[in-house]
Structure 1
Amino acid sequence: MSAEVLAQGRQVYVDQCASCHGAGLEGQPDWKSPLPSGRLPAPPHDANGHTWHHPDDVLLRIVKEGTAAIVGGGYESDMAGFGDVLSDAEIRAVLAYIKSTWPERERSYQESVSQAN
Structure 2
Amino acid sequence: IDDKIYDVILIGKASAKANLRDVIEPWDLPITKGLQESIHRFEKLDEEIELQPLLDQLTARPPLDVALSEETERRLPLIAGGLSVALADTFVTIAPDVKNLGTAEWTTVFDIFHLLI
Could you state the TM-score of these two structures normalised by the residue count of structure 2? 0.29
Larger radius of gyration: 2
Could you state the TM-score of these two structures normalised by the residue count of structure 1? 0.29
More helix by share: 2
